[in-house]
Amino acid sequence: MTRFKKVILFCHRWLGFISGLVVFIVSITGCIFCFQDEIQDLIHDYRKVEVQYKPYLDPSVLKAEALKGRKGASATYMYYYGVNRPAAVLVNLPKDEMLYVYLNPYTGKITHTENPAKNFFIIVEYIHLYLLLPAKVGSLVVGISVIIFMVIMITGLILWWPKRKSDRKRSFNIKWNGRWRRVNYDLHNVLGFYATSVAIILAITGLSMVFESVREGIYITANLGRSYPSEKEVLKSDSLLKGKVKNGFVIDKAFAIAQVRSPKAEMFLINDDATAAGTVGISAYAQTLHYYNSDEYIFEKYTGKLLKQTPNEKKSTGLKMNEMNYDLHVGQIGGLTTKIIAFLASLICASLPITGFIIWLGKRKKSKSKKVKEVVHRRVHKQHLT
């Protein structure tokens, strides 16, 4: 082995020791989370409602119903998930607690109330993002471990890539009829090779959730260095106009405008910023439970005036890439096929620290056995000479 490859092997091995446990946890929780929508749809009846051929109830009506009897509670986010799904209001309770209140969007009847902190998949998501540590600490630990993992994947390719063309065909296959150590070696190297490209995409999209610099880097790169100041403009309401129009009327008017201007949208997210200079923002998504391809609307919260409209087709490539981030990360960008690919890639990533550790143990035992044999041989040789 050349000096260069020895250095690469040293980095690959010790970086694996440093990040292995975190990579395993993050990858296995990623596997579990991939199909969370499908699983929850299957086991929870409240996630579906009977389609009624009439307009949705106004968001102010749903908000009032969700807040009824909850003293000191407020609501900032409201969701319309689609014609056959419940609407939802995110209720903020005193002491920093939250509730998701699901309602029939046609009748206003509450169908389910959920504490997100007790939802299995939300817990899995928090482990995935923060390892159940405080958010700032956990996200940093995960982010650094993911960066290390990307280096490990690249060094692994350098170490594994066969020198001779004649060896490549054999190297791309797992020798299932070999000894278990050989099978483990192939599982680590061959599956690692096939998963690398997908794993790097998952890693980069994950890092963009942790580090603003990565998100900004994707934005600038996709825009080929061009700047679009209007996309980063933060609009504010004129607080001097407070009380001119009731907030409920503004939200309802804003939602009606968004529905008219985005008639094909299946899902709507309403953000009623409660701060004095806040605005009413509405995202109209083309497809239910997919968080890219959306039209954006911003309204003055005291008058209902439309301040800004950004159709999806007028967004820069960089902004579209950033909005595509979640759907790429969980694999739902292309439907069931890409979800399966993301699931398998995550499963392979979870297995790599284990198979790698087994390879290291095997080499360590082999090295010890070799040393013992050498010592015995020297003693026997010495005794023979005497």
Distance between CA 329 and CA 206 in Å, rounded? 7
- Residue 246 has a CB neighbour count (10 Å cut-off) of 12
Q: Is residue 117 classed exposed, middle or buried when 0-12, 13-18 and 19+ CB atoms within 10 A define those classes? A: exposed
Q: Which of 35-39, 186-190, 351-355, 367-371 has the lowest average pLDDT?
A: 367-371
Residue of higher predicted confidence among 218 and 95 = 218
C-alpha–C-alpha distance, residues 104 and 47, integer Å: 10
Helix (H) or strand (E) segment spanning residue 110: strand 110-114
The encoded tokens of residue 196 equal 């690398």
Task: Determine contact, residues 279/299, Cβ cutoff 8 Å.
Answer: yes
Q: Which residue carries 């959306």 as its tokens?
A: 294
The C-alpha angle 318, 321, 327, rounded to 5 degrees, equals 165
Q: Which three-class secondary structure state does DSSP give residue 102?
A: strand
The upper half-sphere exposure of residue 212, i.e. CA atoms within 13 Å in the direction of its Cβ, equals 0
- 104's tokens: 């029939």
Q: Are 348 and 192 in contact (CB under 8 A)?
A: yes
| Type of residue numbered 65 | E
Mean pLDDT of the chain: 90
- The answer on pLDDT for 370 being more than 60 is no
Given a contact cutoff of 8 angstroms between Cβ atoms, the answer to whether 130 and 139 are in contact is: yes
Tens digits of per-residue pLDDT, 208-228? 988 999 999 999 999 999 989
Q: What is the pLDDT of residues 180-191, one digit of tens each?
A: 888 998 899 999
Write 129-136 long-range contacts (CB < 8 A, 24+).
Answer: 129/209, 129/210, 131/22, 131/25
Q: Examine the pLDDT at 75 and tell me if it is beyond 90.
A: yes
Short-list 271, 365, 359, CA closest to 13: 359
Asked whether residue 289 carries a pLDDT value surpassing 90, the answer given is yes
- Checking if the pLDDT of 376 tops 70, the result is no
Q: What percent of the chain has pLDDT over 70?
A: 91
Residue with more model confidence, 386 or 330:
330
Q: What is the pLDDT of residues 291-321, one digit of tens each?
A: 989 999 999 998 889 999 999 999 999 999 9
- Length reported for the chain: 386
Q: Which amino acid is at 194?
A: Y
* Eight-class DSSP state of 314: G
Residue 251, pLDDT above cutoff 80: yes
Given this model, what pLDDT does residue 138 score?
Answer: 95
167 or 58: which carries more pLDDT confidence?
A: 58
Residue 72 DSSP one-character state: T
Q: What is the pLDDT of residue 371?
A: 55
Query: For position 166, what pLDDT does the model report?
Result: 62
Comparing 243 with 150, the larger pLDDT belongs to: 150
pLDDT, average across residues 227-241:
87
User: 150: which residues sit within 8 A by CB, 6+ positions away?
Assistant: 200, 203, 204
Task: Kindly tell me if the per-residue pLDDT of 85 is higher than 80.
Answer: yes
Round to whole Å and give the CA distance between 245 and 117. Answer: 36
Helix (H) or strand (E) holding 51: none
3 state SS of 174 = coil
Report the b/e string of 42-63 with b at 16+ CB within 10 A.
eeeeebebeeeeeebbbbbebb
* Closest C-alpha to 131, from 26, 39, 217: 26
For the cut 80, the answer to whether the pLDDT of residue 385 exceeds it is no
